Structure 1
Amino acid sequence: MTRYLFTLLLCVQFSFSQSADHLNTILKQLKLNESQIRIELFTEKILPYDKNKSVLVIPKYASDIEEGSFVLDAYILVIDNVTGKIIYKFIEPNAWTSDALILTDITIDTGLYYLNKTTRAFGIRADYRTQSQPNPFSETNLSLYIVEKNTLKPVLHNYRVYKYGGEWDMKCDGEFEDIDSTIDIDKLQNNNFNNLIIKTKITKTENTFKNDDCDSKETIKKETTKLIFDGKQYK
C-alpha cells in the first residue's frame, strides 16, 4: 500500500509539473504573463485519440476585476506534447463572464463526438452557479471544436446541457427543476456533418411541509431534439 501511494504521488507530481511546464511554454508563445490569466480556471488534457497532442484552455482577463466580477477571453489551443508548440489556436474575446452568475469551472470534454467519418470534435464545458440559498441556480454550457483545414474552429457554441434551479423557504416548502441533457450522434447528416441528438431528462420536485414531515413529490419528463449543422455551426 505504501509503495502504491508513493507511486501515485510521483505520478501526480509529474503530471502537475508537466502541466506547469506546458503553461509556461505556451504563455511565452502567446506573449502573456501568468498575471493576465485566471490561473485556477486554466485546464489541460491529453487527447485520448492522439496522445501526442493536448488541449489547453487559457482563460485570459479581458478586463479588470471589479468587486469579484470579471470577463475572460478564451484561448483554446492544441499543442504538441513533446515540444509544447502551439499547433492550432482559436481565440474568442469576452467568452466568459463571471458576475452574479459565478463561473466556477472550465473542463475539457473528450467524449465520442464523431461528426463524420474523419472528424472528431472535443468539447469545452463551462460551469456556473449563484450563491443564493433560497434561489439556487447552476448551469453547464458546452462548446464543440474541430480541426478543419489546419484551423481550429467552433461548431457548437455555449449550448446548455445542464440547468438546476428553484425556490424554497430554506426549511422545506419549495419547487426545483433539474434539466440534464446528453448528446448522441445521429446517422443522418446535413452539410456532411452528422446531426446531434439531444436527449433531455427534466425532473421537477415539489416539497411540502405536511404532518410534521417534509413531503417530496417528483415528476420526470423526457424530451428529444436535434441540432443540425448549417455549414458553419450546429443550430
Structure 2
Amino acid sequence: MLKYKILGYIAIISILGVSQAYAECEAPPLPEEGAGYSVCKDWPAYDGQTITALSKIEPDPKLSEMEDGSGMYDLELSVVSTINGKPLANYSKASVFSSDAFRFDSLRIDTARYKLTSDLRAFGVRASFTGSSRPNPFYETWLSLYVREGNVIRPVLEKLVIESGSGEWDTNCAGEFSHTKRSLDMAKTRSHDFADVIVKSVTTDSKSWVENGDCKSKDTVGKTVLTTLRYNGQQYVVPEKMRGL
C-alpha cells in the first residue's frame, strides 16, 4: 500500500512540475542585432493566458548602425496560452516609440484591475523615457490600455502620461523640481457601454538649496486633480496636456 502512495505522490509532483513549467512565461526573442525590449507577464484576470510585449528598433537604411539605440521602435503584443504557448490574439504597429535625446529606456506590462465592462478587462503597457540633460532632468512614463477581442488585441487608451518629472538644478544641490503621478479608477458611469475612467493627478514640487554647508530641501504636495476620460466608441479621449508626444 505504501508503494502505491509513494507512486501517487511522485505522479502529483510530476504534474505540478509540468504545470509550473507552463506557468513560467517566455518573453519573445529579440533580434540578434539591434536595440529593443521584450517582456511577458501572466494575466490574473484570465486564467491560462499570458501577455507578451516586444518593441524592437526599426532599421534605418540611411545608417550603417544604430547609435545608442536611437531611432523608431515598433510594438508587438500577444496573448498566449500558458498551457501550450499557442498565440490567442495579436497586435502589431510600426513607429510607436521614438528614441533620441528623449530616450526610450523601458517597457512593462501592467495587469491592474482595469475592468471596462462586467466581463471585459484591459491590460496596460507602460513605456518610460528619460532625457539626456543632467542639469535639466526630464522623464515620462506612458500608459496605454488594450483589450482582447477574439484573436485581435485592440488599443482603447493610448499614451496617457501616468508619471512625469522635470527640473533645473546646479548638478550639486540647488534647484527646483516637479513630479506628477497619476492613477486610474473605473467609474460607475459609462460611455458607449464602457466604464468612464477617473484619472487622479498629484503634483509634488521640490526645492533644494545650500544652507550652512548642507543641502536642504522642501516638498510641496499639490491638491489631487480629477479628470474623467470617456470612451467615444473607439478609444478613451485623452486631453492633450496629459498625452505623450
Structure-2-length-normalised TM-score: 0.79
Give the match's secondary structure for 1:202. Answer: strand
Q: 1:232 aligns with which of 206, 209, 234?
A: 234
Aligned mates of 1:45, 1:38 — CA distance in 2: 21
Aligned counterpart, 1:35:
32
Q: 2:51 aligns with which of 55, 62, 65?
A: 55
Letter in 2 for 1:82: I
Aligned mates of 1:234, 1:81 — CA distance in 2: 30
- Structure 2 alignment gaps of length 5 or more: 1-16, 238-245
Aligned mates of 2:100, 2:229 — CA distance in 1: 29
Aligned mates of 2:35, 2:78 — CA distance in 1: 16
CA offset at residue 49 of structure 1? 2.2
Letter in 2 for 1:176: F
Aligned mates of 1:192, 1:37 — CA distance in 2: 42
Aligned counterpart, 1:108:
109
Aligned mates of 1:18, 1:176 — CA distance in 2: 41
Give the match's secondary structure for 1:50. Answer: coil
Aligned mates of 2:43, 2:31 — CA distance in 1: 24
Aligned mates of 1:171, 1:151 — CA distance in 2: 50
CA offset at residue 131 of structure 1? 3.1
Contact 1:142 1:159 in 2 (8 A): yes
Q: Which sits farther off after the overlay, 117-126 or 140-149?
A: 140-149
Letter in 1 for 2:130: R
CA offset at residue 87 of structure 1? 1.2
Q: Percent identity?
A: 31
CA offset at residue 111 of structure 1? 0.2
Alignment of 1:159-198 (within 5 A): 159-198=160-199
Aligned mates of 1:210, 1:226 — CA distance in 2: 43
Aligned counterpart, 1:151:
152
CA offset at residue 53 of structure 1? 1.3
> Which structure has the larger Rg over C-alpha atoms?
2
Aligned mates of 1:153, 1:122 — CA distance in 2: 11
Alignment of 1:77-92 (within 5 A): 77-92=78-93
Contact 2:146 2:153 in 1 (8 A): yes
- Structure 1 alignment gaps of length 5 or more: 1-10, 25-32
CA offset at residue 150 of structure 1? 4.0
- Note the aligned Cα RMSD (angstroms): 2.4
Structure-1-length-normalised TM-score: 0.82
CA offset at residue 173 of structure 1? 1.5
CA shift in 2, pair 1:36/1:193, >3 Å? farther
Aligned counterpart, 2:67:
67
Q: Which sits farther off after the overlay, 147-156 or 188-197?
A: 147-156
Contact 2:48 2:81 in 1 (8 A): yes
Give the match's secondary structure for 2:32. Answer: helix
Work out the number of aligned pairs and report it.
213
CA offset at residue 218 of structure 1? 2.0
The Cα offsets for residues 72-105 of structure 1, whole Å up to 9 and x where unpaired, read as: 1100111112222211111111011221111111
Give the match's secondary structure for 1:94. Answer: strand
Contact 1:63 1:72 in 2 (8 A): no
Aligned counterpart, 1:223:
225
CA offset at residue 130 of structure 1? 2.0
Greater helix fraction, Structure 1 or Structure 2 = 1
Give the match's secondary structure for 2:47. Answer: strand
